[in-house]
Homo-oligomer: A and B are copies of this chain.
């Protein structure tokens, strides 16, 4: 790291530094900025102008106001674990890092809510309240290091979101700095269905394009009385998929219902947390049910019955919390595990109606053959949220592009059966063009018009989420002209 005494001659850097108060709260040397040139989506890299580390909401508001008044592009960044490039500074942005705003501000067990700063780590919340019997439900696989602010931006999901819902279902209130520097509150202290428009829902999942979240009120849940976890091995993907449908049809809502295919199993068994999955199977299901003890046994019986009916090869129930933990570590580190069997991988994130699982998995196999790249599948089967992992070697010229194209083809396959192009990883810059698979130009314009209300000069995280300008911009101009003509 460059010695901090070297000062910048850039007027803006000096002014930004004055806002955050000291030289340790800003980075502007190229060698320091390199760590911020991408996020979890590493196929694009751009250097920011600077990275600033505000300590509180007031500093964020001042930074935003300064950037806005001086027409400096800016964006917010949490832990940088996002998988679609939402935090990549495409326009030499000033990055407002929220990692120093990492306090747990309050916990209100009686009304089941907690207030955190955006840089607070997801898993720390559960760890802070588990001794009192409570937890925070959304559990992205990166939860040990990702921030709740980032989770709000991406509307993050996780294995247990099948039963409990994604992030937006657990956000009760937000404090937001708007792109003009104004601070507003959304949501009424954990009150459901507050009056007026649902700004809370609008901001959640807006991928950092409408404002910067500086305080978050979340719902916390009471720990379920009991949990049981099942592993089931199948020698046909169709049987595994059918078991997924049958379990849901039986009226069971598992806390989690995960699937991995043969290639994925090869990866997780070669990586840090092998659990001894057999190597000659085509699919494994990881099924968890939770709730009141008395009801659990009955559900497990039903699940075992369904698996048998669908020709399961082997099925076992976790004997204790230790075994359950090992199974989950094996699953949750699954993406990274692909590093053990491939130099590089690209994770995709499509969603389909559950009933289309076998059809789309077959299609993904054909895409794999067509592009000559292996594709592993690790996914939230219960809610039809696929994660095709395209394995490739970036050192081979052209293979990165081929991986991107194969990933895009997988998303097209999802959209074609009435699904969509992201379940929980966001659009960012990665899936901008794929937005056209699911939205008409009119539908995109309805959304970018809303962005303009919040972010009229498009200084905040520009170039993300929507395919603009282009055909949309043209149509928009046409519409305005038509309207002007009809008025005059």
Contacts and interface: CB of A to CB of B under 8 A. Distances in A.
Interface string A190-203: 11111111110110
B178 A193 contact: no
Given A198-B202, A292-B295, A189 B353 contact: yes
A293 B295 CA distance: 7
Given A292-B298, A446-B184, A205 B199 contact: no
Contacts of A225: 251
A193 B423 contact: yes
Interface string A249-284: 101000000000000000000000000000000000
Contacts of A447: 196-197, 199
Interface residues of A, number: 87
Contact of A189 (B110, B299, B419): B419
A461 interface: no
Contact of A291 (B205, B291, B453): B291
Interface stretch (A122-130, A141-149, A228-236, A424-432): A424-432
A390 interface: no
A197 B208 CA distance: 11
A166 B198 CA distance: 13
A242 to B, nearest CB: 11
A10 to B, nearest CB: 22
A41 to B, nearest CB: 15
Nearest to A482: B180
> In the assembly, how many copies of this chain are there?
2
Given A111-B353, A443-B184, A486-B69, A438 B195 contact: yes
Contacts of A155: 193
B206 A193 contact: no
B298 A190 contact: no
Contact of A420 (B191, B354, B384, B420): B191
B205 A192 contact: no
A199 B446 contact: yes
A354 B219 CA distance: 14
Contacts of A195: 420-422, 426-427, 431, 435, 438, 465
A44 interface: no
Q: Which residue among A186, A225, A351 has the maximum number of chain B CB atoms within 10 Å of its CB?
A: A351
Q: 9 closest pairs, A vs B, by CB?
A: A201-B201, A295-B295, A292-B295, A222-B251, A188-B420, A294-B294, A198-B201, A111-B353, A189-B418
25 contacts: A110-B249, A110-B354, A157-B193, A178-B446, A180-B483, A182-B442, A184-B443, A189-B353, A190-B353, A192-B423, A193-B423, A195-B420, A195-B426, A195-B427, A196-B435, A196-B444, A196-B447, A196-B465, A197-B447, A197-B450, A199-B446, A222-B251, A294-B298, A452-B453, A453-B453
